């Protein structure tokens, strides 16, 4: 099979144009619109750069070489800036923007060099931003959206082929006497660059969509104010912990926590401060929990803890530590007034997962009520008639 290069080229241009159209349309609506708009700009610059390659028949070579390579390199930098914005969730660093402009402008003075040397240097310049883009993805390999991985791989692939061309131009300058002179490495670079960068664009759109769906998922399962799980999301997780305990023979501790006299906090210092207390409390609890433990906000100032593989002593230990943490939280109002936070708790246990979620909730609720009635700032173990005072 032989490739008809002009046909391939036109198809690729159409591909870039189609992706550009989709990016312009989607970026207005889709989460991560700024990063998508950035990629769309990079896409337009690439498209313009490739169009300049087509005018080699009408324009003198230096003009189209400088214009096309300058636009393509700038497009690459804009891609990587969009990727950096997406990964860091912050505007791209200044050096990346300035570096892109400098590299694009450097194409003109490079024309003074012999073609093989120029090809080697241009390849290096074009590889640099793509290698940086690949590194950005590797840096966030675990945290970032999975769809970003192929994007990083494609950028790294193009960077690698450009480096191969750089080495080839140094080792075999006779293959680069004229820029349009065909050779296998040139073909490899052209195919890899055009196809992989186009593919990276589609991958980037998918990564934005993945982030949007992850954030919707989080909104549906977590409380917006404290970041704790909400009740709906916690119920199946509690059921799962109980099933595991039934199979493995462990004990699940379920704890209901209610901040003491929280109404007074709101009344004295306002709701905004009350919100801050809830946020800081949840933050403090999270630092005490193991990865398998759950923090749930049931509503208002009421929280629940699900502690798999914990008995009464384990739950008590966590609550005592929390009590100490709350004392040290050092919450102060804007006027500098100290606002101590205390809580009451009801503990219920499900040995070997024998007590189901509903019964656990009822038992812990009764114990919490006993803790409040007993004077607050304490925990009560359900069914044990046992109070752990502050």
From CA 196, how far away is CA 152, in angstroms rounded?
Answer: 10
DSSP per residue over 209-227, as a string? Answer: HHHHHHHHHHHHHB-TTT-
Half-sphere exposure at residue 108, Cβ-oriented, CA atoms within 13 angstroms: 4
Give how many residues touch ligand GTP by CB under 6 A: 16
How many Cβ atoms sit within 10 Å of the Cβ of residue 303?
Answer: 25
Residues from 221 through 280 that contact ligand GTP (CB under 6 A): 225, 258-263, 266, 271, 274-275, 278
From CA 58, how far away is CA 42, in angstroms rounded?
Answer: 25
Query: Which residue, 279 or 288, is less far from ligand GTP as judged by CB?
Result: 279
Beta-carbon contacts of 307 under 8 Å, excluding residues fewer than 6 positions away, are: 252, 253, 254, 255, 289, 290, 293, 314, 315, 318
DSSP per residue over 337-364, as a string? Answer: -B----EEEEEEEEETT-S-HHHHHHHH
Query: Which residue, 91 or 300, is less far from ligand GTP as judged by CB?
Result: 300
Residues 325, 284: contact at Cβ < 8 Å?
Answer: yes
Closest separation in Å from C-beta 388 to ligand GTP: 17
Closest separation in Å from C-beta 389 to ligand GTP: 16
List 338's β-bridge partners, or say none: 332
Query: Which residue, 132 or 262, is less far from ligand GTP as judged by CB?
Result: 262
> What are 299's two structure tokens?
């509503």
Residues from 27 through 46 that contact ligand GTP (CB under 6 A): none
Closest separation in Å from C-beta 226 to ligand GTP: 9
How many Cβ atoms sit within 10 Å of the Cβ of residue 139?
Answer: 13
Closest separation in Å from C-beta 216 to ligand GTP: 22
Strand residues in the chain grouped as ranges (E):
251-259, 294-299, 302-307, 343-351, 379-381, 386-388
Query: Which residue, 258 or 293, is less far from ligand GTP as judged by CB?
Result: 258
Query: Helix (H, G, I), strand (E, B), or coil: what is residue 97?
Result: helix
Closest separation in Å from C-beta 267 to ligand GTP: 7
Query: Which residue, 130 or 370, is less far from ligand GTP as judged by CB?
Result: 370
Residue of the chain from 376, 386, 387, 388 that contacts ligand GTP (CB under 6 A): 376
**Per-position x/- string for 130-169, each x denoting binding to ligand GTP as judged by CB under 6 A, each - no binding:** ----------------------------------------
Closest separation in Å from C-beta 294 to ligand GTP: 20
Q: Select the residue whose beta carbon is closest to ligand GTP and give its number.
A: 274
Query: Which residue, 173 or 374, is less far from ligand GTP as judged by CB?
Result: 374
Residue of the chain from 372, 374, 386, 388 that contacts ligand GTP (CB under 6 A): 372
From CA 234, how far away is CA 305, in angstroms rounded?
Answer: 10
From CA 250, how far away is CA 259, in angstroms rounded?
Answer: 29
Residues from 294 through 323 that contact ligand GTP (CB under 6 A): 300-301
Query: Which residue, 21 or 390, is less far from ligand GTP as judged by CB?
Result: 390
Closest separation in Å from C-beta 335 to ligand GTP: 17
Query: Which residue, 263 or 268, is less far from ligand GTP as judged by CB?
Result: 263
Closest separation in Å from C-beta 264 to ligand GTP: 6
Interacting residues toward ligand GTP by CB under 6 A? 225, 258-263, 266, 271, 274-275, 278, 300-301, 372, 376
């Amino acid at each position: 099979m032989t490739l008809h290069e002009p046909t391939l080229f036109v198809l690729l241009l159409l591909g870039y144009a189609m992706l550009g159209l989709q990016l312009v349309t989607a970026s207005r609506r889709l989460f991560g619109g700024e990063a998508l708009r950035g990629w769309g700009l990079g896409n337009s610059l690439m498209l313009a750069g490739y169009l300049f390659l087509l005018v080699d028949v009408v324009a003198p070579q230096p003009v189209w070489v400088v214009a096309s390579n300058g636009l393509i390199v700038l497009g690459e930098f804009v891609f990587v800036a969009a990727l950096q914005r997406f990964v860091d969730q912050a505007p791209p660093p200044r050096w990346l923007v300035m570096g892109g402009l400098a590299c694009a402008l450097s194409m003109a003075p490079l024309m003074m060099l012999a073609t093989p040397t120029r090809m080697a240097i241009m390849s290096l310049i074009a590889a640099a931003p793509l290698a940086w883009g690949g590194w950005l993805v590797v840096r966030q390999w675990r945290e970032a959206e999975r769809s970003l991985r192929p994007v990083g791989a494609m950028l790294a692939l193009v960077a690698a082929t450009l480096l191969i061309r750089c080495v080839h131009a140094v080792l075999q300058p006779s293959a680069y006497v004229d820029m349009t002179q065909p050779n296998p490495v040139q073909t490899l670079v052209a195919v890899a660059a055009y196809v992989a960068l186009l593919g990276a664009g589609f991958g980037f759109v998918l990564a934005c969509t993945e982030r949007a769906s992850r954030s919707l998922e989080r909104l549906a399962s977590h409380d917006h104010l404290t970041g704790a799980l909400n009740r709906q999301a916690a119920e199946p997780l509690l059921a799962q912990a109980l099933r595991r305990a039934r199979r493995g023979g462990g004990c699940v501790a379920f704890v209901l926590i209610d901040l003491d006299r929280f109404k007074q906090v709101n009344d004295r210092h306002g709701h905004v401060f009350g919100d801050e207390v809830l946020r800081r409390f949840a933050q403090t609890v999270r630092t005490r929990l193991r990865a398998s433990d759950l923090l749930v906000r049931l509503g208002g100032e009421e929280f629940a803890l699900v502690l798999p593989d914990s008995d009464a002593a384990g739950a008590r230990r966590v609550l005592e530590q929390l009590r100490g943490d709350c004392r040290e939280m050092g919450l102060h109002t804007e006027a500098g007034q100290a606002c101590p936070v205390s809580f009451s708790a009801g503990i219920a246990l499900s040995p070997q997962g024998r007590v189901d979620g509903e019964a656990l909730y009822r038992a812990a609720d009764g114990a919490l009520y006993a803790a409040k009635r007993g004077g607050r700032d304490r925990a009560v173990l359900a069914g044990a008639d046992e109070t752990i005072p502050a």
